[in-house]
Every structure is written in structure tokens, then in C-alpha cells.
Amino acid sequence: MKKTFEMEELDCAHCAARMEEGIRALDGVTDVSVNFLTQKLTLEADDAVFEKVLKKAIKICRKIEPDCRVITK
């Protein structure tokens, strides 16, 4: 499954790269892109674990940049 999510308050291109690196290391992730310019997170992961991976990805984003929000709705 592949989905794209809006991000808010992503203030740093370096932080976006660190988020991408951290998410890519998660089990079940097929591909990931965190785009600082468009403020979007594109996540591709196995259908069976997608929601679990998404929750972990959001935690990684908040750990790197606490004010950053991933809009999941």
C-alpha cells in the first residue's frame, strides 16, 4: 500500500532527510519519501503492517522535530 500524507511545521530539510532515513529502517517499509518543499510524506509498506508502520513513522517524525505533525485524515 502506498499513501501520501500532508505534513505541518516541517521546518528543516535536514530533519526531513533524518526522518526519511529513520522510517526507511522500519520493518515492512518498501519505500519512503519526506519532501521538505512540498511538506509531504509518502509511505509505501506491506498492507498487513501499514497502520503499525505509519504509527512508528509518526513517532520518528515527532522525535526529530517535535512541532511537526503528519495529517492522517
Domains and CATH numbers, the chain: 2-71 (3.30.70.100)
Average pLDDT for 15-44: 97
Look at residue 73 and tell me whether its pLDDT is greater than 90: no
Distances in whole angstroms, Cα of residue 71 to Cα of each of 27, 40, 41 = 22, 9, 9
The reported pTM is: 0.93
Residue 34 confidence (pLDDT): 98
Encode pLDDT of 40-70 as tens digits: 999 999 999 999 999 999 999 999 999 999 9
Distance (Å, rounded) from C-alpha 18 to C-alpha 37?
15
Q: Which amino acid is at 57?
A: A
Q: What is the band of 7 on the pLDDT scale with cuts at 50, 70, 90? A: very high
